[in-house]
Amino acid sequence: MSRVPPPVIAAAAAGVQYLQTRDRRPTLWSGLAAAPFTAAAATLAVWAVSRFADEGTTVNPISFANVTTLVTDGPNRFTRNPMYLGLASALTAHAVLRRSAWALLPAAGFVALIDRIQIRAEEEALAERFGEQYEEYCTRVPRWIGPPRA
């Protein structure tokens, strides 16, 4: 089955958010409220991509064949999906910036779609490739966010 790249899905969700909120302009206060989500999105994206690059493994979410290393440090200590969490944070920031609770719906839709389709396929591929090492990692680190478990 061919997959749509997650950044394309996130861009589509952002487009829906824009259409929902085109009459709502950002304010100084909404910008300040959105800032932590924006900072989290940027930090997660840059940190995760740099860790994958350091390990020489792919960030391509469509082709699992090029995965060479299981990255378990950096942001992957807190979430198994820092890049997707970054995209979700960016969508949340956009909703807050535009002052719209309705704009959170496309963000939630992105999370649900990625969680049920993309992440499950990636987890199956990683379990097949890394076996017990990946299973142990999954017991320690949550799929989305949280403190590491002992």
Does any domain span residue 131? yes
At residue 2, the pLDDT reads 63
Judge contact between 2 and 117, C-beta under 8 A.
Answer: no
Does any domain span residue 14? yes
Give the number of other Cβ atoms within 10 Å of residue 123's Cβ: 15
pLDDT digits (tens, 9 = 90+) for 13-30: 999 999 999 999 999 999
pLDDT digits (tens, 9 = 90+) for 36-85: 999 999 999 999 999 999 999 989 888 777 889 999 999 999 999 999 99
Does any domain span residue 69? yes
User: Domains in the chain: how many in total?
Assistant: 1
Does any domain span residue 98? yes
> What domain range includes position 70?
10-20+35-140
Strands (E), 22-129: none
Does any domain span residue 39? yes
At residue 53, the pLDDT reads 94
Q: Which residues, 6 or more positions from 34, have their beta carbon under 8 angstroms from its beta carbon?
A: 26, 93, 94, 96, 97
pLDDT digits (tens, 9 = 90+) for 123-149: 999 999 999 999 999 999 999 987 777
Q: What is the pTM of this model?
A: 0.93
Judge contact between 17 and 93, C-beta under 8 A.
Answer: no
